[in-house]
Amino acid sequence: MTKIQDRIHEINKIAKRSRLITTVLAIIIVAFIVLTVWNMNTISNNNVTINSKNDSLNVVNEELKFLKGQIEDKEIKYKNELRQIVDSIAQANQGSNLWENTKSTNTIDGFAKYIETERDNNSVIEPERITEIKDAVDAIMDQNGWIQIEESNGTKLFAELSNYIDNISDLRKAKSARSVRNGIIGDSKYDSSRNGDVISKDQFVIVVNTVSSGKAVWAQIKYSNNN
């Protein structure tokens, strides 16, 4: 009887070990299945990502091709325009053509550039031409008014352009926009109200007369609303 009980006990022990092994194997198999499914999903997602990136690269490549074509077209256009400008300048630099172009522009900068170009070419500018330039500049500067040209702390509001254009005395260029007035602020002899005009930054004026008002300096000027 004792042998039979021992045998039963041994069989139970073996059965318990078998169940434990079976459970562990089952867990391992389930884990393997889960891992396999996860890997398949990852691979699938990676393929989708790669395909998406490939599509994006294709779009970028198409855009680059388009931009390349646009740049090449504009480069050709700008080269043609530059060639036309160079040809125009070359024609303008031939004697009387330069003067005709200068007169047609009718600007202070244009007249100054004409004098500079002629001197660079060692050309002698006839006195009659200088007089013609002065008369043209006087005609351009057909407005009159008063404007502050120096602040009370000594800051100059206009750049002085000595010898910028022959026979044009005290030509100046504004460093900033300034309102033109009918007279001087701070002097009861003048009507200091604004006349409605504004001298823009880099605009030319001709100083006719200067007057001090306290430590500030004002000037009676000639100017143009079109130049």
- 89-145: pLDDT as tens digits: 555 555 458 888 888 888 888 888 888 888 888 777 888 888 899 899 999 999 999
Give the model's pLDDT for residue 74. 43
- Per residue in 60-72, pLDDT (tens digit) is 565 455 545 545 6
Reply yes or no on whether the pLDDT at 197 is more than 70.
Answer: yes
Q: What is the largest CA-CA distance in the chain?
A: 150
Whether 216 and 150 have beta carbons less than 8 Å apart is answered as yes
Token output for 116 = 């500079």
Q: Measuring CA to CA, which residue among 191, 183, 170, 172 is closest to residue 218?
A: 183
**Beta pairing partners, 40:** none
Taking the domains of the chain in order of start, what are their residue ranges?
A: 108-223
- Per residue in 40-90, pLDDT (tens digit) is 767 666 665 666 556 556 655 654 555 455 456 545 754 665 565 455 555
Reply yes or no on whether the pLDDT at 37 is more than 80.
Answer: no
Provide the angle, in degrees to the nearest 10, between the axes of the packed helices 108-120 and 127-140: 160
How far, in Å, CA of 119 to CA of 122, rounded?
Answer: 5
Reply yes or no on whether the pLDDT at 38 is more than 80.
Answer: no
Q: Is the pTM of this model over 0.85?
A: no
Give the model's pLDDT for residue 120. 83
Question: Within 10 Å of residue 4's Cβ, how many Cβ atoms?
Answer: 8
Average pLDDT, the chain: 77
Q: Measuring CA to CA, which residue among 194, 201, 203 is closest to residue 226?
A: 203
18-22, 29-33, 91-95, 154-158 — most confident range: 154-158
How far, in Å, CA of 47 to CA of 41, rounded?
Answer: 10
How far, in Å, CA of 100 to CA of 106, rounded?
Answer: 10
